[in-house]
Each structure stands twice: as C-alpha cells, then as structure tokens.
A and B are shown apart, each in its own frame.
Chain A
C-alpha cells in the first residue's frame, strides 16, 4: 500500500449501443491495493463499466492497461481476464457442490487437485461455509450462495476484484453480516477492488475512493468524505450529499457511546469504537434542529454547536441550510420555522442533534 503502483488504467473508454453512448470514461487509474466504489442510480453505467473493464464487453473505443501492458496488444484478453475475478449481483453458481463451485475457476486454469483443494478449503473457511462444502449449490440460501460466489472469486487470488452489487438482492441482516466479513477479508488481503453499489453507506465503509456515476460518466471522484460533503454537481449532491459525514477520532468511551473529536469539536455518538480509532459520523439533515435562543438548554439532544449559516437552498416545503460549526453541517428547516426564526445567510444559530441520531461508520475495523 505504501508504494503506489498503478495496476489498472483506462483511457478514452467508450461503449456505444445503437447510437447511444452507454459509457464514456476519459481516464481512470487504479492503484494496487485500492478500493474504489462506483456509486450511482440504476442505469448509471456501473455494470457496463465493470464489464468493460473485465473485457466481457468489448469497448467501442479506448484502451485498458494492466500493469502498463495494453490489453489485446501486450497481454491477451484471456491472460488479462485470468488476473481478475468478478462477482455479479446473482450468485450464478454451477449445478454441483459448493466445493466444486469454489474450485471451478482453478479447474479452468488446469491447477493440480491438491492445490485446488487447499485453496478451496481456505476460502470456504474464510467465508464461513466449510460446513456446506458437500452441499448442492442449488440448496443454498441467498446469503450462503453469495458467500460461495465470493469464495469462488477469492480462490483465484485475483489481482483485481470486480464486484457488481453483490449484496443488492440480500435481505438487510444477511447483507450486513456479509459486508462486515468482506470488509475484514479485504482489509487482510489488500486486494485491489472495484465495486458497484447504489448504497452510499456501503461505499463509505468499504472504499478508499468513490466515483459517482450517471449517464455513463463519472461525475465526481475522490475520498468518500470529500465526495459526500462537497458534491461537485447538483446530481452528485442529490444522490450522495444528503447527509453530513464527518471523520472523527475517538477520544473517550463510556458504555455504549463515545466522544469523537471533529475539527477540534467534541461530538457524542452512540455505538462501539476503539479509543484512537477514526470513525465516520453520518448525520441526516432532518435530525438536526436549529434554534436562535442561546440560553434555553437544548431538549434531549446531546450535541449542541454554534454555527453560522453559509447557504440556504429551498426544497419545496423544506429549506436546506448549510452551516459552518467549525465543521460542515447540513440541516433541514421547514419554511415556516425559517420565517419564524428569521434565518438568513450569515446568521448565527445553535444546531443540535442527538447522539443516537448519528450513524457511525467504522473504516476497516479489524
């Protein structure tokens, strides 16, 4: 991770179908060990992008370089594909045992039986499905099947892992436990990963960089906090910028809650975290209350900050107020209370939010 090696580079990638441009990526480079999240609504081009990067979809125009070698010219498509592994939204398992499924990519490569068995066992254990090894893949639950599909990909020890919304069709508890496991595994293996999702929190907890896509183009790319707090375009703002995301360092713990230092301010949040750990605090604008009376002690809200209104954006019955409290904060105010409190840009207000209303995201928690 220390030395930055560009492992994958795409230049002028264009995919067209029936005259319409499905994908248009002027340039993108991925460093070894990096985890990039592609986020965007359905039809934004995430799947097209992943399939083009894996050469399952031939680009209309453009080049892909793997470790500086141009695919098709300096490295064959087959050779290149064998450096990658891809997991789709559907598990797409074969009609055989779980063991044989996880072994399938290795068998395709003509690996020796003994080595296959070792690698398969390792992955089955890693994904907690060793006990299902002899079961027919058709009898697995959705979560188990997706675990087998991930194990099949990891067994290949890919240099780049491509994940196309592998959790989107799972129910929430299964989804959560799988994300958690994947997070641990990625943290340990340091596999370069590009994953598509439409879940912002998934992107936050897993990625080093986020690329927001729409209409086949990358609208904005950068560290997740940056993209989510400072959306560059209206589209990005509407898609990701709906909450404040603050990186904070845990400086005190007490029971089920902790205090994190954000830009020198102390914010109390409910959740588990280690001392000294950096966490992301996500605060939805509807959970922030604004008031102008300085002396009345806030109700049960435990976090109270004085800030200045930077900008007010009208959103129908609501107004979105961007505040500077030493850290950026976004709040919704009804148009009625906006008038009542006579809020305007530049005005000083008190912003409060409950410790329980903060969603805590732990990055790479080991």
Chain B
C-alpha cells in the first residue's frame, strides 16, 4: 500500500513543480501526436469525403478496408514502418528510423484511417438531397464539397478527437520506430513503459496521470459534441 501512496505523492510533487523531465516528455508527446493528427486530418478528411461523394465499382470493398484500418494494431504499423525505414528497406535512404519524424509517420498511419472512416460516415450520413440542394443554389463542385464538410463539422470534430486519442495513447509503434531515446524520442507512453519496468513508479504514475487527464479532456469534448448533436 505504501508503494502506491508514496508513488502518488511523489507523482503530484513532480506535476506541481513542473518537473522539467516530465514536462519535456509531455510536450514532445503533444508535438508528435498533434502533428500526426494534423497530417491525418488533411489526408483523412479529403479522401474520406471523396470516397463518400463518388460512385465507383468496388466502393464497398474500399469502405470496408478503411473501416478495418480504423482498428489497425499499432505494433503491426510499427513493424511495417520499421521495415520500410530500415537501412536496407525501401525508404532506408531517408535515414529517419529512431527519430521523431518516424514516430509522426507511424502515428499518421494509425490516425489516418480513423479520421478517414469517421469522415466517410459523416458525409454519407448527410441527407442525399442536400448535395442537390447545394448545387441548385448555384454552387460550384468545390463550393458544394466545402459546404458539405461544414455541415458535417461536428462528427468530423469527433474524428479529430478519436484520431488524436488513438495516437497519444499508443505505445507499440512509437517504441519500435522512435526507440525511446531520452530527450529526443521519449514520449508519455514509452516513458511510462520504461519507468515501470525500472520500478520508478512515482514518475510512471505522474506520466500516467497526465495521460489520463489528456484522455479525460478528449472524452469531455467528444461527449459534449455528442450531447449537442442529440439535443438538436
């Protein structure tokens, strides 16, 4: 019992005093996962919208692939990104394995299908005649797509949150392609794994609390969006 209480006490001390190590790790986590989410938004929303609005043979198959991709296991992503970035791999010439860039790449691969799947569903859930109404109002194709995205903004926001939530809490890919190098590629999850294995429970608990707080805020925003949706 003392172990836990002491751990929690020390953890709060680390948090209250803004321990530079803990803060550095948190900031790096936000940077890497934030960038990955941003990139996945650009790819996911545009591709998801394009798939939702077009008709082509094999669309169902593509949609099922995207949906499967939403549950991509991070270790599998880590494995393949590692292989691709390995010195003798297809992208080995980039020399970015064990760098934050590699982590952004891996996390983008994880978040993109999540954002894409949610965008696809969001656009498909709009009334089909809405597209006709927008065109009838004299919109160009580009204006039409933009208005549709604006109409789906709340579910799209949910996609943003789900994508960010997915990558900030993921450990497998980050440790495989980032290498958990102190002050360089060490993030909240990889640090928690390491400190726990070393028996440094205070730091691990502090990192865990930060992760929990982040998860809480993400869910708070998500819930609020959903409640707003329902009350309409």
Contacts and interface: CB of A to CB of B under 8 A. Distances in A.
Interface of A: 51, 54, 56, 78, 81-82, 84-86, 88, 90, 92, 94-95, 104-105, 108-109, 136, 138-139, 152, 156, 162
Contact of A105 (B127, B138, B150): B138
B127 A90 contact: yes
Given A90-B127, A92-B129, A54 B136 contact: yes
B230 to A, nearest CB: 12
Contacts of B136: 54, 56, 81, 84-86, 162
Contacts of A94: 147, 150-151
B129 A90 contact: yes
23 contacts: A51-B132, A54-B136, A56-B135, A78-B138, A81-B135, A84-B136, A85-B136, A85-B137, A86-B132, A86-B133, A88-B132, A88-B133, A90-B129, A92-B133, A94-B150, A104-B137, A104-B147, A105-B137, A105-B138, A108-B143, A152-B137, A156-B138, A162-B136
Interface string B145-156: 001001101000
A94 to B, nearest CB: 6
A229 to B, nearest CB: 35
A156 B130 CA distance: 18
A121 to B, nearest CB: 19
**Contact residue range for chain B?**
10 to 19
B140 interface: yes
Nearest to B147: A94
Contacts of B130: 92
Interface of chain A, main secondary structure = mixed
Nearest to B130: A92
A111 to B, nearest CB: 11
Contact of A78 (B127, B129, B140, B147): B140
Contact of B127 (A81, A92, A104): A92
Interface in B91-136: 127, 129-130, 132-133, 135-136
A109 B140 CA distance: 10
B232 interface: yes
Given A56-B136, A88-B129, A105-B138, 17 more contacts: A78-B138, A81-B135, A81-B136, A86-B136, A88-B133, A90-B129, A92-B127, A92-B133, A94-B151, A95-B151, A95-B153, A105-B137, A108-B137, A109-B138, A136-B232, A152-B137, A162-B136
A90 B136 CA distance: 14
A81 B138 contact: yes
B139 interface: yes
A104 B137 CA distance: 8
B145 to A, nearest CB: 13
Nearest to A137: B232
Given A92-B133, A108-B143, A82 B138 contact: yes
A156 B137 contact: yes
A105 B136 CA distance: 9
Contacts of B133: 86, 88, 92
A88 B133 CA distance: 8
A17 B151 CA distance: 30
A158 to B, nearest CB: 9
B139 A108 contact: yes
Nearest to A54: B136
A57 to B, nearest CB: 9
Nearest to A89: B129
A116 B111 CA distance: 41
Contacts of B132: 51, 56, 86, 88
Contact of A108 (B127, B129, B138, B150): B138
A109 B129 CA distance: 21
Nearest to B139: A108
A110 B3 CA distance: 66
Contacts of A138: 232
Nearest to B231: A138
Contacts of A56: 132, 135-136
A139 B133 CA distance: 20
Contacts of A90: 127, 129
A103 to B, nearest CB: 11
A3 to B, nearest CB: 28
Contacts of B135: 56, 81
A92 B151 CA distance: 11
A56 B137 CA distance: 11
A148 B185 CA distance: 55
Contacts of A109: 138
Question: Residue among A88, A108, A156 with the most chain B CB within 10 A?
Answer: A108
Contacts of B143: 108
B177 to A, nearest CB: 40
A51 B135 CA distance: 11
A86 to B, nearest CB: 4
Contacts of A86: 132-133, 136
Nearest to A95: B151
Contacts of B137: 85, 104-105, 108, 152, 156
B157 to A, nearest CB: 13
Nearest to B137: A105
A86 B153 CA distance: 25
Question: Residue among A81, A85, A92 with the most chain B CB within 10 A?
Answer: A92
A82 B143 CA distance: 14
A85 B138 CA distance: 8
